[in-house]
Amino acid sequence: MERYFLYFTTVILFSLSARAAEPDVKAGEQIALKGTSAGATACIACHGTRTEENKSAAFPRLVNQSQFYLAAQLKDYATGARNNAIMNPIAKALTDQEKENVAAYYANISFPTPKGKKPAAAVLKRGETLAKVGDEKIQVQACNNCHGPGGIGMPPAIPPLAGQHAEYLQAQLVAWKQGQRKNSLDLMAPIAQRLSEKDMQALAAYFSQVQVK
């Protein structure tokens, strides 16, 4: 009987979370600024706010992200489908509704692409070719097929690459190649496995300097 009760509770909870209430941006802002009593630390320390970006290249930029994608990543950090020592406990501490709220707060921000050190011309060229055309020799299709022209993203499900920190982009490709990142594994792992370290560097360098208008 108890098992059935649990089952039904789970079903009800699941349907509730599947139909989460409209996100509360104000509540999301509170989480971003102050964290939660359940132990999620404030996001701003690393990711900045809607109006002021944290410029450290150590953390991914949240520019131009859809609410859907941000919430999905938080859920995947909670389950371990994405692996990150900092993000896993934070995501676990957030309820599904809190994830939606904070995702809504950070959704669709716009900041110009930061000016960094310009990569070598040959590196940029290789990155651009892979991004726009692909390479038949290694059977890699153009990134922009799915990530949109100029890597601006194909919301809600496919994130932008344009203007993202090179370190972050490269780390994600490596994580897919080595099987550590398990969301979108079917789509991204076969591509990452075909890319050499140099190709990953070139792609990351190229996308990191694409200007988003």
Which spans of this chain sit near other proteins (rule: CB under 8 A)?
A: 132-136, 139-142, 144-146, 149, 186-187, 189-191
Cβ nearer to other proteins, comparing 42 with 81: 81
Could you tell me the smallest distance in angstroms from the CB atom of residue 133 to other proteins? 5
**If DSSP codes are grouped into helix, strand and coil, which group holds residue 213?**
coil
Could you tell me the smallest distance in angstroms from the CB atom of residue 61 to other proteins? 24
Cβ nearer to other proteins, comparing 94 with 191: 191
* Rounded Cα distance, 92 and 113, in Å: 31
Could you tell me the smallest distance in angstroms from the CB atom of residue 67 to other proteins? 18
* Rounded Cα distance, 52 and 45, in Å: 11
Measuring CA to CA, which residue among 116, 112, 23 is closest to residue 68? 23
Could you tell me the smallest distance in angstroms from the CB atom of residue 108 to other proteins? 22
Cβ nearer to other proteins, comparing 46 with 212: 212
* Rounded Cα distance, 51 and 152, in Å: 20
Looking up tokens 């994580």 gives 175
Cβ nearer to other proteins, comparing 40 with 203: 203
Q: Return phi, psi of residue 63, to 5°.
A: -60, 140
Looking up tokens 């934070």 gives 90
Cβ nearer to other proteins, comparing 57 with 81: 81
Could you tell me the smallest distance in angstroms from the CB atom of residue 183 to other proteins? 13
Residue type, 120: A
